[in-house]
Amino acid sequence: MSPSATALLIILAIVGVGSFIGFRAGASRRMDLEQWTVANRGFGVVLVWLLMAGEVYTTFSFLGASGWAYSRGGPTLYVGDRGLRDWKIASWADSRHASHES
């Protein structure tokens, strides 16, 4: 078997096992959309902070943005602004949600 076919089989096996485990875990309880997407808003401050940091500091921020800035120049300054804007929007949305919970 060629190395490409071996790699493809390994990838398919990993995806298949992961899908099986995920479907098996999800079949045991009934969840609505909010519970499925955001764990019924029970992540906690630290986990949400880490998830938001992962959104801002992605591979695009480290590799894609630098290559894009090298090839295009000034218009890529929006990348830093995008991170700040996303944090502001998330903070605003979270504060609105917290005020409606009570």
Average pLDDT, the chain: 78
Instruction: Say how far apart CA 79 and CA 76 lie, in whole Å.
Output: 6
Instruction: Say how far apart CA 36 and CA 29 lie, in whole Å.
Output: 11
What global pTM score does this model have? 0.39
Q: Is residue 53 included in any domain, yes or no?
A: yes
Given a contact cutoff of 8 angstroms between Cβ atoms, the answer to whether 76 and 65 are in contact is yes
Q: Is residue 35 included in any domain, yes or no?
A: no
Kindly state whether residues 71 and 49 are assigned to the same domain: yes
Kindly state whether residues 48 and 97 are assigned to the same domain: yes
Kindly state whether residues 23 and 45 are assigned to the same domain: no
Share of the chain above pLDDT 90, in %: 19
Structural domain tally of the chain?
2
In tens, the pLDDT along 38-73 reads 676 777 777 777 877 777 677 676 777 778 788 888
From first CA to last CA, the distance across the chain in angstroms is 62
Kindly state whether residues 63 and 92 are assigned to the same domain: yes
Q: Which residues constitute the domain of residue 6? A: 1-30
Instruction: Say how far apart CA 52 and CA 20 lie, in whole Å.
Output: 28
Instruction: Say how far apart CA 65 and CA 78 lie, in whole Å.
Output: 10
